[in-house]
Amino acid sequence: MVNSSQFPYFILTAYLDMGYLKYLYFVIVLMLYIVIVFANALLIITSDSHTISRSMCFLQIYCLYTYASVEVCNLAVMSYDRSSGFVSLVLKRPDRKQSVPAAPTSPP
């Protein structure tokens, strides 16, 4: 038996009625991206020294490890939620019958 269900696209129903706000959001994110890229390019061009202070290096390390640990915790919570939902779904199925093993019978 072949699974014939195919979904050519998804409809995100929470974001259907945004109207003109989607253009505003796009422009805000685009402008922020352009400012970041321009500032980075300007910093690279004008900087002759490629050194970083010890405190800023530790700040970068702290930010990186904090971000990574938050992501790992987030994934752990999501996986626990998924597994607990799956287990509760399997345990509460209405078609599941509680079978009691029959007592062994001796041959007559």
Domains: count for the chain: 2
Distance CA 9, CA 29 (A): 25
Given this model, what pLDDT does residue 42 score?
Answer: 87
pLDDT digits (tens, 9 = 90+) for 17-73: 777 888 898 999 999 999 989 988 888 888 777 788 899 889 999 999 999 999 999
Please check whether residue 5 lies inside any domain of the structure.
Answer: no
- Residue with structure tokens 């939902």? 85
Identify whether 106 is part of a domain: no
Q: Does residue 16 register a pLDDT over 70?
A: no
Q: Residues 6 or more apart from 23 whose CB is under 8 A from it?
A: none
Are 35 and 62 part of one and the same domain? no
Range of the domain at 58: 52-91
What is the reported pTM?
Answer: 0.42
Look at residue 4 in the predicted model and tell me its pLDDT. 67
Q: Considering the domain boundaries, does residue 72 fall inside one?
A: yes
